[in-house]
């Protein structure tokens, strides 16, 4: 199977898994809010904390994919790495996911497709978290009798 096909399949799988995970975490938080078991402040901490957990989980999955691909040269590599440890792969994944992309580390070969799609996936999920948080805060303030 050509490398680009495998990269596209891996990208699709990661987009599905990260989106589904994000959905499940946000749904769980919404259910918790409806049960009214937390104070307003605790709700906000749970909302924001769960969003961070969902995003960091996604970044970690992509980092694992980049690490695996980095050690299989037919997919390309990550140029500019200070080393080849978990921190390096997580850092690269974080810059792609957040679309910050400093440029000190960059993907080569077919791996570039995964890096680009991670940015698109991250952008959509970050926007989703922002929308979810905005709606949650609006409801918390609306429900506040003060």
**CA trace torsion 93, 98, 99, 101 (10° rounding):** -50
Domain 3-143, classified CATH 1.10.287.70, yes or no: yes
What tens digit of pLDDT does each residue of 40-83 get?
Answer: 888 889 989 999 999 999 999 999 999 999 999 999 999 998 87
Burial class of 6 by CB neighbour count within 10 A (0 to 12, 13 to 18, 19+): middle
14 HSE (CA, 13 A, CB side):
29
Asked if 132 contacts 33 with a C-beta cutoff of 8 angstroms, the reply is: no
Q: What is the pTM of this model?
A: 0.91
State the average pLDDT for the chain: 91
What's the pLDDT score for residue 146?
57
User: What are the sequence ranges of the domains in the chain?
Assistant: 3-143
> Which residues are CB-contacts of 116 (< 8 A; sequence separation ≥ 6)?
96
- Record the tokens describing residue 94, joined without a space: 């974080």
Residue 29 has pLDDT above 70, yes or no: yes
**CA trace torsion 5, 9, 14, 20 (10° rounding):** 150
């Amino acid at each position: 199977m050509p490398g680009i096909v495998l990269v596209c399949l891996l990208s699709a799988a990661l987009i599905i898994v990260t989106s589904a995970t994000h959905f499940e975490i946000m749904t769980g938080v919404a259910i918790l809010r409806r049960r009214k078991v937390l104070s307003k402040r605790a709700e906000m901490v749970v909302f924001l904390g769960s969003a961070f957990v969902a995003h960091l989980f996604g970044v970690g999955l992509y980092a694992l994919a980049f690490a695996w691909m980095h050690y299989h040269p037919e997919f390309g590599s990550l140029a500019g790495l200070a080393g080849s440890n978990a921190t390096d792969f997580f850092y690269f994944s974080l810059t792609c996911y957040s679309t910050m992309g400093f440029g000190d580390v960059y993907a080569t070969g077919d791996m570039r497709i995964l890096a680009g799609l991670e940015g698109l996936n991250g952008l959509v999920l970050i926007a989703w978290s922002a929308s979810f948080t905005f709606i949650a805060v609006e409801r918390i303030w609306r429900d506040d009798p003060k």
